[in-house]
Amino acid sequence: MKRYQSLPADTLDPGRNTGLILGGIGGPDAPASVEAFLHNLLMDPAIMPLPRPFARLFGAWVVRSKSAEIRRRYTEIDPRGISPHLGWTRQQASQLAFRLGERGLQVRAEPAMRYWHPYAEESVRKLLAEKVQQFIVLPLLPQYTANMSGNILGGIVDKIRELASGYPLHVLPEWHLLPGYVATLAGQAEQAIRDWQSAGHAASECAVVFSGQSLPQRLLRKDDPYQDQIHATVAAVHQQLTGNLADIGDWWGLVRGADRPLLAYQRKVSPFCWLRPDLVNETRRLASAGCRHLLVVPLTYSCEQIETLYELDIRLAGIAAHTGIQGFQRTAAINLDGRWLTSLADHLATTAFRGYRTESASD
């Protein structure tokens, strides 16, 4: 597991105060911070794989030319013009700390964002002020990739080692097959599909597409597990979904994506070769093949953010309507769903803490 060599997995003491850090990309917390957020994002070689002089020039051009448009998009999803990412993450952190507390563990939880506040240093210092003696760090991205999850986690680990040298530290790199995560995705898709069947829609005019966050192909190293983990998540959710729909199996079997799950990628942000197929192109292909009811199941976003609320709900929904799709919908991000939060709390308790055992709690 070469890619994880810099990510420690110390066994923690269940009797000590623990700092739990949820690492994410972040987003602007006011319209005025859009330029600074974009600058931080585009100056990261993990996002913009260009030689530094070209990256600076291209990044500066994007900030100048796109900032007004990005501010408009944030305003469309929230009148305050801010990203909902941090608010959701704070609630997720609080819920995880509460569930771990129910298991007898003393946990203080904070988010740490890569490209805007609160940065890793802010979060680590805050937890140290609350007298934590050890740390757990996990990404908000279920599937691991070096240039996203590894980049986020590496920055947090470096700050912990700098500010809390010698403190035990357990990092969970990915959770793409976490039972509660898979159950949440399958359960949400199941309800939408049953609604189609109850409404009398022809199964042959319905389609289900799983959506993953796209990445530049040149950034995926030979040992990078991202695509394998995306496919593993899709296979697990599709298998559970098919089992859940056994009572309408004949109808479900005629839905596009029932026999062989469909996967496409979204969020292309730079002029490179990205993972394919592209979600917009897949939507157009399905529409031309007779699809009139489309369900998109986003896999890689742990909470609602611009990629779901604007890219899917506004942009893709508009494209779908223009191509003749009459009913476009997508499943919600997993947000505060109790199935995945309880499952994650159980997993952290039993894998990170020495001698701890638990039975999965019902939510």
% of the chain beyond a pLDDT of 70: 94
Q: Say if residue 186 is in the same domain as residue 257.
A: yes
Q: Say if residue 215 is in the same domain as residue 277.
A: yes
72 belongs to a structural domain: yes
Q: Say if residue 46 is in the same domain as residue 87.
A: no
Q: Say if residue 169 is in the same domain as residue 221.
A: no
362 belongs to a structural domain: no
131 belongs to a structural domain: yes
Q: Say if residue 237 is in the same domain as residue 278.
A: yes
pLDDT in tens, 27-48: 999 999 999 999 898 888 777 7
Q: Say if residue 286 is in the same domain as residue 205.
A: yes
pLDDT in tens, 100-147: 999 999 999 999 999 999 999 999 999 999 999 999 999 999 999 988
Q: Which domain holds residue 51?
A: 31-77
360 belongs to a structural domain: no
Residue 272 pLDDT class (50, 70, 90 cuts): low
Q: Say if residue 91 is in the same domain as residue 218.
A: no
Q: Say if residue 183 is in the same domain as residue 263.
A: yes
pLDDT in tens, 190-226: 999 999 999 999 999 999 999 999 887 766 767 889 9
Task: Tell me the CATH number at 345.
Answer: 3.40.50.1400
Is the pLDDT at 270 greater than 80, yes or no? no
Number of domains in the chain: 3
DSSP, residue by residue, 104-161: T--EEEEEEESSSSSPHHHHHHHHHHTT--EEEEEES-SS--IIIIIHHHHHHHHHHH
Q: Say if residue 60 is in the same domain as residue 105.
A: no
361 belongs to a structural domain: no
- H/E/C letters for each residue in 13-63? CCCCCEEEEEEECCCCCCHHHHHHHHHHHHCCCCCCCCCHHHHHHHHHHHH
Alpha carbon dihedral 4, 152, 279, 193, in 10-degree steps, equals: 80
357 belongs to a structural domain: no
**Of 332, 310, 313, residue with least CA distance to 321:** 313
Q: Say if residue 23 is in the same domain as residue 166.
A: yes
Q: Say if residue 310 is in the same domain as residue 208.
A: yes
CA distance 2 to 270: 28
140 belongs to a structural domain: yes
Bridge partners, residue 330, by sequence = 296
Asked whether the beta carbons of 28 and 37 are under 8 A apart, the reply is yes
Is the pLDDT at 305 greater than 80, yes or no? yes
Q: Say if residue 156 is in the same domain as residue 64.
A: no
Average pLDDT, whole number, for the chain? 93
